[in-house]
Amino acid sequence: MFQNRLRQLADRSLTRHLHTLDSATGPTIQLAGRTVILLASNDYLGLATHPDVIQAAIRATTQYGAGAGASRLVCGTLPPHAELEQALADFKHTPAALIFGSGYLANLGLIPSLVARGGLIFADRLCHASLIDGARLSGADLRVYRHRDLNHLESLLKRTRAGRPLLIMTDGLFSMDGDLAPLPELATLAERFGATLYVDDAHGTGVMGPSGRGTLEHFGIEDRIPFHMGTLGKALGSSGAYIAGPTDLIQYLVSTCRPFMFTTAPAPGSAAAAHAALTVIQQDPSRRTRLWRNRKHLFAGLTRLGFRLTESVSPILPILIGEADNALAFSQQLLAHGVYAPAIRPPTVPDGSSRIRVTVTAEHSPEQIDLALGAFERAGQSTRLL
Ligand SMILES: *Cc1c(COP(=O)(O)O)cnc(C)c1O
């Protein structure tokens, strides 16, 4: 039965495979016996391998064990969890914060906590799969507006019956396009129509804004949006997610949010690692400076070569290809030339918009970026994309 289904996927170039790296994530990795330049990781600041972050994980693991042993509400809340939540609240300038095992879980939990059957959710067409799954789980009706299209969203909002609970949900920085949601305008629409605005800042946290507080800081609207969600597994180099917001919201979630209640607490080492990463982000802005320098270098090079990029304004620099098989072929050529950047295909992106998702980090050297650009040029020529 599954062989048939797998064959159908393969016919559409949509089968996926796991590639095991033989090294830690970093600017270069060991893969199948070779050293290749990695342009695929979301560890934008290189904190997954930062000595302070690793040491914090080791110390917490030594003191509190490899696992928390229970859910947070039973007996799984340990000092690394409480300390991380306090540090996140301080960082985000909110009264409180709550952590989750992952961003996927956080969205599955938070959206049904905010809106239920009878409510109405508006989602950007390109928002992350976990937001859509959270919306489905909530039982609320879902309306999808065209990517970043405020006029479309407004026309949908105008058509709603008065008195219905409304939630607008969006990525702050879109994971597969690298562009930003128009958050100030979305906040204005939310205020006008009495809707709640839910911003998932998985990719913005640590990256966007002068202090790395994310897309809300970037737009200067932190005090207009009372709570926001972000993750700990991307720029923070660990794993997990958080919501930062008012104390009553956090208390309500502790008592009702099922993906918080019915899952084992994050490992103490991973909470301590995220906390240490947060400290580095606040104390060492040079990593963000290097990240943006590298982003500029790679963007200029890819543009000069003539690739078609998305409207990215971030370290996510997707090269638009179109069909899934062409994207796969390009990615394979890149790997042959020493660069790992994956083909992203449906259902992760809409049909006909398969792409190579290229990401750069603070840890790449200018020489590595130049080497990578050489590989892009040769792969582009051999697949007739250039
Ligand atoms: C990666 C991502 C998630 C999922 O977060 P995990 O911690 O990896 O589960 C959620 N939302 C967005 C926008 C993401 O990019």
Q: Report which protein residue has its CA nearest ligand 1's atom 4.
A: 103
214 lines ligand 1 (CB under 6 A): no
Element (H, E) at 112: helix 103-114
- pLDDT value at residue 155: 98
Provide the annotated active-site residues: 175, 203, 234
Task: Specify the ligand 1 atom closest to the Cα of 175.
Answer: 15
pLDDT of residue 199: 98
Rounded distance from Cα 230 to ligand 1 centre (Å)? 8
**N-to-C CA span, the chain:** 41
Contact 268/101 with Cβ under 8 angstroms? Answer: no
3-class DSSP state of 123 = strand
Rounded to the nearest whole angstrom, what is the distance from the C-alpha of residue 132 to the centroid of ligand 1? 12
Which atom of ligand 1 is closest in space to residue 130's alpha carbon? Answer: 10
Cis peptide before 80 (omega within 30 of 0): no
Does ligand 1 come within 6 angstroms of the Cβ of 238? no
Phi and psi at 36, nearest 5°, equal -130, 155
| CA-closest candidate to residue 278, choices 224, 230, 323, 326 | 230
DSSP state of 234: S
Q: Which stretches of the chain drop beneath a pLDDT of 50? A: none
Q: Is 130 in the pocket of ligand 1 (CB under 6 A)?
A: yes
What's residue 110's pLDDT?
98
CB 203 near ligand 1, within 6 Å: yes
CB 229 within 8 A of CB 242: yes
SS3 assignment, position 318: coil
Atom number in ligand 1 closest to CA 104: 9
Cβ 359 under 6 angstroms from ligand 1: no
Whether 266 lines ligand 1, by a CB cut-off of 6 Å, is: no
| 241 Cβ below 6 A of ligand 1 | yes
Between CA 87 and CA 125 the distance in angstroms is 33
- Best mutation site among 205, 231, 236, 348 for ligand 1 pocket (most ligand atoms within 8 Å of CB): 231
Distance in Å, CA 118 to ligand 1 centroid: 27
Which run of H or E residues covers position 37?
strand 34-38
For the Cβ of 103 lying below 6 angstroms from any atom of ligand 1, the answer is: yes
pLDDT for residue 183: 98
Most ligand 1 atoms within 8 A of CB, residue of 128, 205, 236 to mutate: 128
In the prediction, which pLDDT does 13 show? 84
- Mutate which of 130, 179, 357 for ligand 1? The one with the most ligand atoms within 8 Å of its CB, which is 130
Q: Is the Cβ atom of 318 under 6 angstroms away from ligand 1?
A: no
Interval 131-166: pLDDT, tens: 999 999 999 999 999 999 999 999 999 999 989 999
Give the span between the Cα atoms of 189 and 192, in whole angstroms.
5
Does the CB atom of residue 175 touch ligand 1 within 6 A?
yes
Q: pLDDT by residue (tens digit) across 273-302?
A: 999 999 999 999 999 999 999 999 999 999
Query: What is the reported pLDDT for 208?
Result: 98
Structural contact between residues 73 and 257, judged by C-beta atoms closer than 8 angstroms = no
pTM: 0.96
The residue nearest atom 3 of ligand 1, judged by CA position, is 103
* Ligand 1, pocket-test mutation among 42, 44, 100, 104, most atoms within 8 A of CB: 104
